[in-house]
Amino acid sequence: MAVDLVAGRPDPQPYEAARGVLITVEGIWGTGKTTTATALGERLTAAGFSTCVLHYGPRHGVVERLSDMLDNAPLRRRDGLGGYAAPHHATVDVLLRLCRESYNHRVLYRPALAEHDVVVVDHGVYSKLAYALAVLTEQHPDVDPALLLKQVRAVAAPWFLHPDVALWLEMPWPLARERAIARGRGGGNPGSVERLLFLPGYSHAYRLLADALPDRIRRIRVGARTTPSVLAEIDELLSPVLHTQTGALR
């Protein structure tokens, strides 16, 4: 039986933010999020938009120590078959990672949106929800994933800034893994059996999330396409959003 992440109650309304347009580049490791976001930021700046491309900003105090633990001493083992030493560690891991992400939304993204026409987040924000769903469905295979996703979204609701456009770079996970290995980062360890086992579930969780939020997540089938080809499709997706929401700023 699944461990409830939050007691059943109406979802609280997220805080209002003085904001420009929030664009996130989504996808599993190796799909080219950083490359695409950097190129997109350059195009938007050249088009006259005040643009900020964010990965992670400076972290201090408790958040810095939390981030160091999650990155360098994670509860989920990254060697051998991976997994957790105790079943409840999966839920603890999810909550700790969502705590870190709430800091990013409230301390980094929100102020940036008040200062710029467009903010591009290059590592995705829905990726954190997809990771949580992948971990929880792995630990609770007999529980409906839709219920687990509902619980994760309820936890995130008070602080989560939904992107105006979430660009999901969809790519078959074996190809994404090969690209990550070639780049030497983001799950690119060719000897990592844990990543090899986890990636299919992570990719499936992304699909479930995209199906649950069809009005928020825009699917871009990348495959072996070049960055200019992907950017041309992104241009078409962003044009009506940018002209509608930032027109008054021009």
Which residues, other chains included, contact 231 with Cβ-Cβ below 8 Å and sequence gap of 6+?
A: 36, 39, 40, 43
**CATH code 3.30.70.380 for 22-249:** no
Reading phi first (left if > 0) and then psi (alpha if -120 to 50, else beta), residue 30 is in left
pLDDT tens, position by position, for the chain (250 residues)?
Answer: 344 444 444 444 444 445 799 999 999 988 999 999 999 999 999 999 999 999 887 888 999 999 999 999 999 988 888 899 999 999 999 999 999 999 999 999 999 999 999 999 998 899 999 999 999 999 999 999 999 999 999 999 999 999 999 999 999 988 888 888 787 655 556 667 888 889 999 999 999 999 999 999 999 999 888 899 999 999 999 988 887 654 433 3
Query: Token pair for residue 170?
Result: 């969809």
Triad 124, 91, 84: Cα angle to 5°: 95
**Domain residue spans in the chain?**
22-249
Q: How many CB atoms lie within 10 A of CB 100?
A: 17
